[in-house]
Each structure stands twice: as structure tokens, then as C-alpha cells.
Structure 1
Amino acid sequence: MKGSEVMKKLSVLWLLLLLVGCGNASSSLEGEWLGTDKNGGGGRVTFNEDHSVLVEMGLLNTSYQWDVEDDILLLKRNDKVAYKYKIDQQNKDNITLQELDEEGKVGEGNDIQLNRKQK
């Protein structure tokens, strides 16, 4: 997989992890998170109250709109779903996002760990 493809997948995974949560997903995801993938790559993901999200990974900064339906995080660009993640929220400060394929099945090895950034 090329570097730009990896960065794109990481960006999407970060966003999905932030959006997935228990209870009131919007309020539980809002704020700044640090994300890490299985290869140790990572960055910062900021979920905003207006449902915009910024994924910052080195020189790559990508914006999306986010929404949560049931336990699925949706990242959208131009009103089209770009990524889907199943949310597994361990507690208010730790979330695992699992990327879903077009059929809604969990992909292998595409998990992202999100940890709420401490103030």
C-alpha cells in the first residue's frame, strides 16, 4: 500500500473512532483525540459540536462532516459517506474504531485506537 493510501485510511479511521460512542455519541466524541493504528502511525482528531471533524496526521490535514447512527460512525465529504466505522467505546476516554466495508462488515486489521487528549 502506498504512503498516501495509508495516510488516507488512517485519516478516515481516526474520524470514525471519534464519532462512535455510547449514549449521546455527539457529546462523547466532541473534543480532541489522539489516534493510533496497528502500525503505530497516528495523529490528532478534533470532533466539533457543529459535526465537522479535522484529522491531522503530519502534513496531511483532512476535514469531514461526522454523524453517528446506532454504533456506526459516518465520515462524509460533499454529503457522501467516505468512511464507516463500528464504534467500540471502552470508556469516555478510549475508543476503538473498526473500519466497515461496503457491505457493513468489519475489515481485518484496520482498527484505530482513539484516546481523549488530556487538558
Structure 2
Amino acid sequence: PEFSRVLYPGLPDHPGHEIARRQMSGFGGMVTLTLAGGAAAATSLLTSTRLFACAESLGGVESLINHPASMTHASVPANVRRRIGVGDDMVRLSVGVEDADDLIADLEQALRGIPSGPNPAGQP
């Protein structure tokens, strides 16, 4: 599967990259992914990780994964969520202190499990 968008201040094309580069000693451990496969792909990734716990948090020592549209932004009307860029196809990762190779392997196995094929009609 591919991502239609990756939001991380460490990437040069991130809108806040230059500010983050000047103000921070690093870019942090939060990454937001928008999956090209839509909501079904996001749900598959969310439920297939083994090391990333599904939880709402801004970070801690454990690695977390969440689905903003149904978790942190669930009370926001869908049309408003779409307008501010929080789609059903979005997943947010907060990287903890686990071994980086283990986390990468976990994400790779979860991504391999996402069914391939066209995005179902009506899916964001």
C-alpha cells in the first residue's frame, strides 16, 4: 500500500519544517499517515500492529497508534473533520522507546496485510 500523505515536521516539505528545525533539537516521534487505500486501509493498519498499542495520547514511553477520525476527533462533525484534513483514511503514530527495528518490522507486517486493490467507492 502507499500513503497519499505523510505529515512529519522532519520532512523538508512539511509546512512547519523550517520553524521546527530552528526551535527544536529533533523533530519528535509523532507521524501522521494518510493511506491511499482509504478508511479500510487505515482500519486494517490500526488493527494489525502488534507493538503499537491503539490508544489516544500525545506520547509516552510506549508506541501508540490511533485513528483521529474515530478517536480524538470523533465529536467533530465529519464535514468539519474533512475541511481540517482529518479524514477516515488517517492514522497517527507516536513512537516510544521500543527498538526501532522491531517497530519498523511491526509496521511492515501490518502494511503487508492491507488488502490491495482499488479504493472502494465512497471511501475517503
Task: Provide TM-score, normalisation by structure 2.
Answer: 0.26
Q: Provide TM-score, normalisation by structure 1.
A: 0.27
User: Highest CA radius of gyration, 1 or 2?
Assistant: 2
The structure whose residues are more often helix, as a share, is: 2
